[in-house]
Amino acid sequence: MKLSTLTLSFLLMSGVVSAQEKVSFVNPMIGTVKMGHTFPGACVPHGIVQLSPDTDTIPHSINGVYQKDTYKYCAGYQHDDNTIVGFSHTHLSGTGHSDLGDILIVPVTGEYKFNPGVADKPRSGYRSHFSHDTEVSRPGYYEVVLDDYKVKAQLTATERVGVHKYTYPANEEQKLLLDLTHGIYNYDGKVLWASLRVENDTLITGYRITNGWARENYTYFAISLSKPIKNYGYVDREKPKYTGFWRKFNLQKNFPEIAGRKIVSHFEFGSDNSPLIIKVALSGVSTEGALKNLEAETKGKSFDKIVAEASSKWEKELNVIDVEGDSDKKTMFYTSLYHTMINPSVYQDVDGQYRGIDHNIHQAKGFTNYTIFSVWDTYRALHPLFNIINRERSVDIVNSMIAHYEQSVHKALPVWSHMGNENWCMIGYHSVSVLADAIDKGLNIDKKKALEAMISSSNVDYYDGTGEYKKLGYVPFDKNGSGSSITLEYSYDDWTIYNTALKTNDQAVTDTYKKRALNYHNVFDPELEFVRARYSDGHWKTPFNLLSTHGEGFIEGNSWNYSFYVPHDVKGLIKQMGGDKQFVQRLDSLFTMHLPDEFFADTEDVTREGVMGNYVHGNEPSHHIAYLYAWTSQPWRTQYWVREIMNRMYRNSIDGLCGNDDCGQMSAWYIFSAMGFYPVCPGSNEYVFGAPYFPYMKVKVGDGKYLEIKADKVSDKMCYVKSVKLNGKPYTKAYITYDDIKNGAELTFEMAATPNKKRTFSEADKPYSLSK
């Protein structure tokens, strides 16, 4: 749903937003169809609650057969569905794997149904039809009418509480379902245990423990109700294996303490015609923690007040960047900014208690604990972005990662972690990059402890080929099907350790990791001048397909794309690739070569629009590639291709995202690229120039300090950089540094309709490279 003129007018009239407000430019519906995997529901910045409609929950396997469609529902919602199962409280934003969907609530009327039913059989379960015409989605607020029940549902949230307002048809008995079996990426047995207590007639507590992508996820809750429960009960969708002496009771009716593996409970509230308001607080610690969260964040607050506060929280966060430009582009920009502010999410109770990776309860001391670290994606641009626009949060995130390391039996930083669990998704030990970048930016973290954690994480020999990598200098294909991808990424990660060690004058570490940082050479076939799958004995894989993403030693990328992945040693890479001319030709070819559609049938996580030539923007390994021209003789080409990518792959429409948003990484790429520069090599101090996207941007980089980015007359035509000034003075480098902008700066671009091919860079003015 695009925010319609009518809706906007209504919002303006109602005073919820004013024309100047940033929230009015956010369209949470962008990316909610196909591969975006975003959700339209209500949340506040980095809150742990994402209260959103689930339109389906295809189990991940039926009778042992994997269901491909499961993948569609990573965020629980696909815009082309026409039924809503209910509203659940936790959703990942833009991921390529799915989980969560905890604590599903459905307002219903009439006869109960205790299973969700299937979309193509109307009324086969409790799910309801809905129309997008009734949907309203804006930051912190979602609204829809469930047609089958004629219930208007309005949702909002605080950091830890989902708030529901249900308006039932007149004179109907108001009913609720609370389905503790529901989940995203559900399978038979995912819920290990669920428990529910009706504490009194307006308060319910409970929890469930699930074995999903998060191997052991503890979701505690406390639900306060605006009116007393008249009657309640439950069904257990599985015959309990053991009931003991609980059989004494009539558990099914008005019995306040139920538990089991497959519990669906129901509540009735009479028919007094007033709306029912429900506040659902979450905690990873305990029901006591959920009650504290409920009280601290919502006590005494009306639904409308919470809606207004949620909007204010977004406005405050989005206010970090002012942008001038056309409405569609501003919408895409602020929606992207919005998407960078959902995950990571605060994972602690209001009193600082949280469940660690060891599943013990810890007290966060001196930091706020965060979770949902899609690090393979987000180390690239999201964390670097935080280091500019939200350094405090970045410190918290780094401290959360270090706490994870300290609790980890592997003594490793997060790979892909959520809800107190490591899920090991994707490759690399890229948290080292996140720490390195924070240290490089001078953030207030314990450098010594951080370096210890980085070194330790890179020496878990049983982790994904690390032992082989240390021994052979690469991860062999016969031991690991993604060995060449991994080798490249470890090389970069090792560079971040090298670069951090440099700052702490640790010579032994510096030497070791400098050597490791050059390991990428070991997977470059000198004949092909491309990265190739290599066996333990040193032989290259034959036959070898440069274009296939499957079975050739790579993951989420082919050799063509991955061969450009040496962000820390681009000069070395250019040599390895045969020199400037061939390197530029190859970059050009990447963006322009013609490949038949069938070729992309197996490419993960991206729509056909997410591919340009052989360049796959919908997956992350290529995100820096368009910026590599900066090291070549033809840097202007970056300006062209970056704008092409922005225009083609980020569109203000429901299907406007070309691939998974990946917890904000895709969006962070867009924010950086719009600013006119990009962190090709996080951990270095440099951002490599592209070209600005908007005529004016003002980026808050600290208290009262701003980076202003001026590009008068910039447009799709006037997309080339003629010259650059920093604080009014001509600026001739291919990059700016963090130190240049951290205390505010004015960056002025003179734009032109044709490339300034004379604007090339001396070796000294080129961006960082390990090899000179």
In the complex, the residues that contact a copy of itself under the rule CB under 8 A are 60, 187-190, 192-193, 195, 197-199, 205, 207, 209, 211-213, 215-216, 241-242, 244-246, 248-250, 254-257, 259, 286-288, 358-361, 409-410, 416, 423-425, 462-464
531-545 in b/e burial notation, b at 16+ Cβ within 10 A? bbbbbeeeebbeebe
Q: Which is nearer to a copy of itself, 364 or 745 (CB)?
A: 364
Report d(CA 223, CA 293) in Å as an integer: 11
Question: ∠ CA 673-675-679 to the nearest 5 degrees?
Answer: 55
Cis omega before residue 543 (within 30°)? yes
Do the beta carbons of residue 138 and residue 3 sit within 8 Å?
Answer: yes
Report d(CA 466, CA 474) in Å as an integer: 9
Sign of the dihedral through C-alpha 70, 76, 81, 85:
positive
Strand ranges (DSSP E) for 532-572? none
Instruction: Find the shortest distance in angstroms from Cβ 187 to a copy of itself.
Output: 6
Strand ranges (DSSP E) for 302-379? 321-324, 345-346, 353-355, 361-363, 370-371, 373-374
> Pairing relation of β-strands 745-752 and 705-710?
parallel
Long-range contacts of 587-595 (CB under 8 A, 24+ apart): 587/625, 587/628, 587/629, 587/632, 587/637, 588/637, 589/613, 589/614, 590/560, 590/561, 590/564, 590/614, 590/615, 590/625, 591/615, 591/626, 591/641, 591/644, 595/547
Fill in the amino acid letter for 205. Answer: T
Q: Which is nearer to a copy of itself, 187 or 696 (CB)?
A: 187
Instruction: Find the shortest distance in angstroms from Cβ 570 to a copy of itself.
Output: 30
Q: Which is nearer to a copy of itself, 143 or 199 (CB)?
A: 199
Q: Which is nearer to a copy of itself, 315 or 422 (CB)?
A: 422
Residue 159: which of 70, 68, 89 has the closest Cα? Answer: 89
Report d(CA 4, CA 10) in Å as an integer: 10
Q: Which is nearer to a copy of itself, 199 or 478 (CB)?
A: 199
| 3-state class (DSSP) for residue 659 | strand
CA atoms within 13 A on the CB side of 253: 1
Dihedral of CA atoms 409, 373, 445, 366 in degrees, nearest 10, equals: -80
Instruction: Find the shortest distance in angstroms from Cβ 502 to a copy of itself.
Output: 31
Instruction: Find the shortest distance in angstroms from Cβ 179 to a copy of itself.
Output: 19
CA atoms within 13 A on the CB side of 262: 14
Helix and strand counts by DSSP (H, E) for the chain = 18, 39
Do the beta carbons of residue 417 and residue 357 sit within 8 Å?
Answer: yes
Instruction: Find the shortest distance in angstroms from Cβ 424 to a copy of itself.
Output: 4
Q: Which is nearer to a copy of itself, 27 or 70 (CB)?
A: 70
Biggest CA–CA distance in the chain, Å, is 87
Q: Which is nearer to a copy of itself, 304 or 461 (CB)?
A: 461
Full strand arrangement of the beta sheet holding 677-678:
677-678, 686-689, 735-737
Do the beta carbons of residue 753 and residue 725 sit within 8 Å?
Answer: no
Instruction: Find the shortest distance in angstroms from Cβ 702 to a copy of itself.
Output: 38
Report d(CA 674, CA 691) in Å as an integer: 7
How many CB atoms neighbour CB 753 within 10 A? 12
Report d(CA 676, CA 694) in Å as an integer: 9
Instruction: Find the shortest distance in angstroms from Cβ 359 to a copy of itself.
Output: 7
Q: Which is nearer to a copy of itself, 8 or 361 (CB)?
A: 361
What's the helix, strand, coil split of the chain in %, to 5? 30, 25, 45
Q: Which is nearer to a copy of itself, 187 or 599 (CB)?
A: 187
End-to-end Cα, the chain, rounded Å? 51
Instruction: Find the shortest distance in angstroms from Cβ 420 to a copy of itself.
Output: 12
Q: Which is nearer to a copy of itself, 207 or 565 (CB)?
A: 207
Q: Which is nearer to a copy of itself, 216 or 529 (CB)?
A: 216
Fill in the amino acid letter for 113. Answer: K
Q: Which is nearer to a copy of itself, 60 or 383 (CB)?
A: 60
If you ran DSSP here, which 8-state letter would residue 278 be given? E
CA 744: distance to chain centroid? Answer: 28
Q: Which is nearer to a copy of itself, 168 or 474 (CB)?
A: 474
Q: Which is nearer to a copy of itself, 10 or 249 (CB)?
A: 249
Instruction: Find the shortest distance in angstroms from Cβ 198 to a copy of itself.
Output: 7
If you ran DSSP here, which 8-state letter would residue 657 be given? B
Q: Which is nearer to a copy of itself, 215 or 301 (CB)?
A: 215
Q: Which is nearer to a copy of itself, 114 or 424 (CB)?
A: 424
Q: Which is nearer to a copy of itself, 149 or 416 (CB)?
A: 416
Instruction: Find the shortest distance in angstroms from Cβ 517 to a copy of itself.
Output: 24
Q: Report DSSP letters for 462-512, one per residue.
A: TSTTHHHHHHHSS--TTT-TTHHHHHHHHHHHHHHHHHHHHHTT-HHHHHH
Instruction: Find the shortest distance in angstroms from Cβ 194 to a copy of itself.
Output: 10
Report d(CA 621, CA 377) in Å as an integer: 9
Q: Which is nearer to a copy of itself, 359 or 539 (CB)?
A: 359
How many CB atoms neighbour CB 649 within 10 A? 22
